[in-house]
Chain A
Amino acid sequence: MSLEFDRKIHEALSNQKLQLKIYANTGRMKEGREASVAPDVLPDYQELRSQANALKRHAIDHLDHYLEEFERNAEARGGKVFWAKDATEVADFILSLAREREARLIVKSKSMTTEEVDLNERLEHHGLEAVETDLGEYIMQLAGERPFHIVGPALHKDRYDVADIFEKHLGIGRETVIENQAAIARARLRAKFLAADLGISGANFLVADSGAVVLVENEGNARLTTTAPRIHVAVAGIEKVIPRAQDLAVFLKLLARSATGQALSVYTSFLSGPRRRGEIDGPEEFYVVLVDNGRTRLLPDRGKRQSLYCIRCGACLNTCPVYRRIGGHSFPWVYAGPIGAILTPQFLGTAHEPALPFASSLCGACAEVCPVKIDIPKVLLELRHEVRRSEAREKRGGAAVRLERLAFRVFAWLATHPRAYRLAAPLGVALLPARLRERFGIDEPPARSFRQLWSRR
């Protein structure tokens, strides 16, 4: 693996405080989820998962149809749809819109897609102020860090960290009481909401039959972001599309439960276009930016296409024994946890971090909790195979990789030549590094193998 990945993992594992924080915080969400989908609480849980999987499969398998339907319906209601093939086009669109409308202050609600395309950086580079309004994202923005977790961006920060960040970046006195910290953020952000020219949101779902954007949240910052400013821009990956409004009866029952254990999140907004005649408030302009940025690269492979079903609930992160120890910042890209481990190599290429698909014991806990039934371990296995194929093809990886490949070749030969296997196997065990043998307590392997004992019966 890259030195960077190795180092980050080591740092995370060595940080006792971090270990406790991640484990406790993800644990709470994990337990919340478990309680909320228990058979006596949500008897339909497994059926809902199957339905959600089927709906996503259908939508993705017919994605062109639903994207066009979405566009038609969004534009019929006065919205405008912009198609962005990559990060640059997303930023360029928003920049030119901001310029045309003389918008200088932008408020943003949570959107992993905008993280993916580094939108804030580009906006700031061009002199716009883009403020994150989700409390966790706000804290991370002030700290200059990437979100740590899909649902809890500042999961790894405690009140003292937040006090430090506020003191340093807001120029205020040190405040360590959480309620007061939240009040400070509320006051600051209120001013931004009310002064902002443009609000940028993500989208949990894009509803094709309605041309609508669905936003799921607990704070109300997404509602404010999409209600107060006169322009609303929703930035969404093309895979977010679902066929019908009524499909939300399936997805909404799964999303909040899978994320935090709530039956429904506090606010679910179903937004279809700008303010209509008669309506008193709401944005005057409504744009949806449909983002490709590599998603079309994930589509062709039928086995891995399911990676696009993700509804960003975070359940896989909260249940993964690896994520719960190494945390979000150990991952090489914006998406962390099991879903990050399968999206990153598919978006950025396996060469970006060849070890990433191997950073899993394949325990399958993620697949068990995924509300849309993505078979993450299966995709990880396919990606591992892809890594090996490209290593062989491009002669990448160095001596260690070549040696490993040779070792497996030799083992395959031995495994198909039982007599040689019988002789070589104990030798192989004996030749294992002493450290390994000690670690597994096999420094004194049995005198006779099973087959030897058997032949003596």
Chain B
Amino acid sequence: MSRESILHRVRTAVGRTEDQPIPEPPPVRLRIPQVDREARLQSVRRSLEALAAKVHFAVTPRAARDLVETLLAGRNAVASNAPYLSECGVANLPGVRTGFRDAAELREACTAALVGITSADYVLADTGTLVLLSSNSEARLISLLPPAHIAVVPSSRMLTGLDELFTVLPSPADASSSMVLITGPSRTGDIEQILVRGVHGPGELTVVLVG
């Protein structure tokens, strides 16, 4: 079997025997800087606006709901099952379909929708990155198929950056089969290095931080 022959070749090449213990890997020191809430908010705004994403702050969940209604501007949307979206009342805005549990139905809804609305498990302040773990509350296609994506996230979920993410979540695979880090709207420069957004993920990204 190739498995055995490959492993054998590797061991011979690096001078190891089967089951030989290994030394500790080089340490990776995760440094979490001291950044206050206000600075994190500003950092998220700065990073995302530089990427042509939009950032809004809503003081209350109710304000978030009103804001999202305005942002939707009548477009039909699919919202994830994230409890936070229900809490805000975003999930039952007019034109928003939610509660999908079946993959095929979800896919069809996402294909037709103009906006996908999700929450996020974390936001990384230094890069404005949304962290989404796939679960019964968050389906993957919602932040991927529709041409626009709105994420409504409590500001308490802001982390300083990657180091903090891997500190609070050292084993993402334990939490979900899919963790995706989203930093800005989909883009490509594949033709003449001219930036085009929305190929293939959402070309429009709006992050609403609440509270």
Contact = CB atoms under 8 A, between A and B. Distances in A.
Chain A directly contacts chain B within the complex, with at least one CB pair under 8 Å: yes
Interface of A: 24-25, 28, 51, 54-55, 58-65, 67-68, 73, 77-78, 83-85, 89, 133-136, 139, 152-155, 157-159, 162, 178-179, 181-183, 185-186, 189-190, 193-194, 207, 209-212, 218-221, 223-224, 227-228, 238, 243-250, 252-253, 260, 262-276, 278-282, 286, 290, 292, 296, 299-300
Given A210-B171, A268-B181, 10 more contacts: A24-B193, A54-B26, A60-B14, A134-B190, A247-B28, A253-B162, A269-B178, A270-B181, A271-B177, A272-B177
Contacts of B6: 67, 83, 85, 238, 290, 292, 296
Interface residues of B, number: 74
B75 interface: no
B177 A273 contact: yes
* 6 pairs of A and B residues whose beta carbons are closest in the complex: A220-B201, A299-B13, A136-B190, A210-B173, A272-B173, A296-B9
B14 A28 contact: no
Contacts of A63: 10, 14
Interface in B1-50: 1-3, 5-7, 9-14, 16, 18, 20, 22-23, 25-26, 28, 30, 47
B166 A248 contact: yes
Interface of B is mostly: loop
B86 interface: no
B93 interface: no
Contacts of A67: 6-7, 10
Contacts, number: 256
Given A263-B47, A265-B183, A270-B172, A154 B191 contact: yes
A116 B28 CA distance: 32
A119 to B, nearest CB: 17
24 contacts: A24-B193, A64-B7, A64-B10, A68-B7, A139-B190, A210-B173, A223-B140, A227-B141, A252-B162, A263-B126, A266-B187, A268-B183, A269-B179, A271-B178, A272-B173, A272-B178, A275-B134, A279-B178, A280-B100, A280-B136, A281-B139, A282-B140, A292-B6, A296-B13
B139 A224 contact: no
Contact of B135 (A134, A136, A278, A292): A278
B107 A281 contact: yes
B183 A263 contact: yes
B102 to A, nearest CB: 8
B73 interface: no
B61 interface: no
B90 interface: no
Nearest to B26: A54
A362 to B, nearest CB: 27
B190 A135 contact: yes
B191 A181 contact: yes
Nearest to A160: B192
B200 A219 contact: yes
Nearest to B100: A280
A178 B171 contact: no
B172 A186 contact: no
Contacts of B170: 244-246
Given A64-B7, A280-B139, A281-B107, A299 B190 contact: no
